[in-house]
Structure 1
Amino acid sequence: MKKVLVLIQDGPFNTIRSSEGFRMTMGLSLADNEVSLLLMGDGVFNLLPLRAETIGQPSIQTYLEYFPKVRVQLYAEAGALADRGVQSLSEGVKRISHQEAFQLVSAAEVVIPFR
């Protein structure tokens, strides 16, 4: 079993990469991997209750609902949340310090960044 970390640092509407990162994270959970997803920087904006489908973008909300069911751990870096005024977190999202985020990246066998 590999420890895989997907790192998303971009907001939901800058590119399609963020939604692709969420989709790929779901796919990685189907294999024998311990999968985590870390939101840093503008990536924390993905936690806002947005209606992406209104502008023709994929909705990330579905992934946020299913990640706990497929044992994907979702983390959000506390400094990025505070800097961007994101206060409420979806169920199952763990708020972690910058140091904890660094340790998470260091401990992963595979890190897949989406920027």
Structure 2
Amino acid sequence: MSEAKKSFLIINRKAPYGSSAARDALDVALTISVFEQPLSLLFMGDGVLQLLPEHIASEIGQKNLSANLAMLEMYDIDRLYVCRQALEQRGIRPADIRLNITLLDQNGIAALIKQQDQVLSF
């Protein structure tokens, strides 16, 4: 008997530092990928700030989140979606992000969420 795979979407809404939400979301993503389940990541709201390169986390006594983001490719996590409106509101250009991302508008986000078996929001 083969086990059916379930698709997962992890929604990242929090800034990279100030709480453990961003790190927790990435830890869950890496864990899900180990079990070879279909996985997508969506960055919305302040979560888009996680995608900016060269965080200087040591100045606030934190570990740099960029290292965890760099591991996504190694774990075959390549479905990264970003809310276009969140980028625009924060003055971030897609070219500022070094990861391979797909921009979505509100309709695209709604469609992505509907396609998933499990949605986890951080």
Which TM-score applies when normalising by structure 1?
A: 0.89
1:59-89 CA deviation, whole Å, 9 max, x = no partner?
2212322212322121111010001111112
**Structure 2 counterparts to residues 1-115 of structure 1, below 5 A:** 1-49=5-53, 50-72=55-77, 73-87=79-93, 88-114=96-122
Residues paired across the two proteins, number = 114
Indicate the structure with greater strand content: 1
Q: Aligned Cα RMSD in Å?
A: 1.4
Structure-1 separation of matches of 2:117 and 2:61:
35
Name structure 1 gaps, 5 residues minimum: none
Q: Return closer, same or farther for 1:108/1:48 CA change in 2, 3 Å cut-off.
A: same
Name structure 2 gaps, 5 residues minimum: none
Question: Do the aligned partners of 1:68 and 1:92 also contact (CA within 8 Å) in 2?
Answer: no
Aligned identity (percent) is 25
Give the ranges of 4+ consecutive aligned residues of structure 1 lying more than 3 Å apart after TM superposition: none
Structure-2 separation of matches of 1:102 and 1:84:
21
